[in-house]
Amino acid sequence: MKTPNDIPVYVSHKSVRFIDQLRGFIRYRGLSYQTEKTYVHWVVNFIRFSKMAHPLTLSEPEVEAWLTHLVTDRNNSANTQRIALNAIVFMYREFLRKPLTDLNFKYAKVHQRIPTVLSNVEAQAIIDHAKQPFKLMFSIMYGSGLRQAECLSLRLLDIDFDNLILHVRQGKGRKDRTTLLAQSLLPDIKAQIELVKQLHCTDLKSGLGSVYLPDALSRKYPSAATSSKWQYLFPSSRPGPCPRTREIRRHHLHHTAVTKHLRRIMRSLDIPKHVTCHTFRHSFATRLLESGYDLRTIQELLGHSDVKTTEIYTHVVKRGKLGVISPIDGISEENAGYAFA
């Protein structure tokens, strides 16, 4: 079993390692684990670029050289460079209390990328070629607009059958939200829940059955970890050690298993597009726009903090069936019935 990548690794509060102390500070500030991993990645990258020098011995010139290196030597995008800058600024300003001033470095060029979107026919073809439980996962991502990590993190208690709602807990930015649940998926979801409950009963008989709970829930509700409602909707095929406590638990499916299954399907289909799990989310938003739903509603369903992020999908719609009409498409209509001498 691959190690779960969404459970915070154990860090001793007595550790004197710089990175461990940085991790502890990030957790003290209440940032998400994804932000922690991202910041640590770029801080380590900066330290290695600086020949393993301690950040306290470095200043603006070294940071400028590194940020320029990301663009000129590594060809990183503007978004990647901005994330790296955020990580370094956070480390110096918040953690080391040594704010950086007047940085002068080469900025990466900003390229506006239009998201890849599947048609209904293409999305259905991918879903039809998938095996369970991946078929249900792709259906939920396309039908509810979930990110891959949000879909993997779904637990049984997150599904509201009566109100046709999915609860997304601690999504991107550690924000909770609700989104719609497609009625056509109810039979498959109920069947998957029954499989999860049977697997959980087997685990309990084997002395297992405990699942990871975020934050302090395990202390607040000691019996919740072995309750069926807290089990993942898409559990892993076998239990493994928790990276935080080393306790043997059954986590959710690893994201690489989902990615590999989708790649195998795409190799067998004649769809000339670069498709990832996130493409289902893009397609969900585009379908809603085409159906006439307003941007604010779509923004809330997707969990975007800024409506400008949601507006990118209008570029897709305006260039498609509901947008500008090509001049050549009107030639036959204008000349219908007209005979040239």
**What are the sequence ranges of the domains in the chain?**
18-95, 112-322
Task: Please confirm, yes or no, whether 278 is among the known catalytic residues.
Answer: yes
Q: What is the secondary structure of 241-254 as a DSSP string? A: E-TTT--EE--BPP
Task: Please confirm, yes or no, whether 33 is among the known catalytic residues.
Answer: no
| Helix H or strand E encompassing 300 | helix 295-302
| The domain made up of 112-322 is a member of CATH 1.10.443.10 | yes
Of 74, 278, 308, 319, catalytic: 278
The answer to whether 156 and 284 are in contact (CB under 8 A) is no
Of 23, 147, 249, 287, catalytic: 147
Task: Please confirm, yes or no, whether 304 is among the known catalytic residues.
Answer: yes
Of 33, 142, 212, 313, catalytic: 313
Of 82, 172, 174, 244, catalytic: 172
| Helix H or strand E encompassing 168 | strand 165-168
The answer to whether 84 and 65 are in contact (CB under 8 A) is no
Q: Is the pTM of this model over 0.95?
A: no
Q: By CB neighbour count within 10 A (0-12 exposed, 13-18 middle, 19+ buried), where does 284 fall? A: buried
- Calpha distance 251→211 (Å, rounded): 7
Task: Please confirm, yes or no, whether 107 is among the known catalytic residues.
Answer: no
Whole-number Cα distances in Å, 212 to 232, 258, 298: 10, 20, 31
Task: Please confirm, yes or no, whether 172 is among the known catalytic residues.
Answer: yes
Task: Please confirm, yes or no, whether 244 is among the known catalytic residues.
Answer: no
- Calpha distance 261→304 (Å, rounded): 28
- Calpha distance 289→313 (Å, rounded): 8
Q: What is the token pair recorded at 214?
A: 């975020």
Q: pLDDT in tens for each of the 341 residues of the chain?
A: 576 777 888 888 889 999 999 999 999 898 888 899 999 999 999 999 999 999 999 999 999 999 999 999 999 989 899 999 999 999 999 999 999 999 999 888 877 778 899 999 999 999 999 999 999 999 999 999 999 999 999 999 999 999 999 999 877 777 889 999 999 999 999 999 999 999 999 999 998 888 888 766 777 777 888 899 999 999 998 888 887 777 888 999 999 999 999 999 999 998 999 999 999 999 999 999 988 899 999 999 999 988 888 888 887 776 665 566 667 666 655 555 555 44
CATH class of 18-95: mainly alpha
